[in-house]
Amino acid sequence: MVLIRCRLGIKRESEIWKKRSEKRIAPYVLELLKAMFIAGQEDHSKRNSAKEIFDDLSQMAEEGILSPEEVPSKQTIQSWIGRYSATNKKEIARLTKVTDIAGPSNNEK
């Protein structure tokens, strides 16, 4: 733990430099994001940009399905898409590797 000196005595760094509170994406909004992302992966004509997803979520907020505070910013959605896409690619690579290790099925003779 890093300690620093100040006029009032020794204080923890965390007391002086408080982290900004990070807003988390609500679990059901995450499920909506995942559904929109997966729909775009299955059918490339339905692929949405962060702006389009933001517009869809904002429309849901206007209709009363979501509250306006629950709609993440465009930048947050863009960051989430990048992280989720990378995670999916790693998972697909892992599953492909497991399939390759298992070898061809017995039906392929």
In whole angstroms, what is the distance from residue 23 CA to residue 75 CA? 13
Domain that holds residue 32: 23-101
What pLDDT does residue 41 have?
79
What pLDDT does residue 60 have?
94
Average pLDDT over residues 43-66: 90
pLDDT digits (tens, 9 = 90+) for 88-105: 888 888 888 777 676 665
Question: DSSP letter string over 1-38?
Answer: --EEEETTEEEEHHHHSPPPPPPPPPHHHHHHHHHHHH
What pLDDT does residue 80 have?
93
What pLDDT does residue 43 have?
78
Residue 15 falls within a domain, yes or no?
Answer: no
Tokens of 60: 């849901």
Domain count across the chain: 1
The predicted model scores a pTM of 0.64
Residue 9 falls within a domain, yes or no?
Answer: no
pLDDT digits (tens, 9 = 90+) for 4-48: 555 545 555 555 455 545 578 899 999 999 998 888 877 778 788
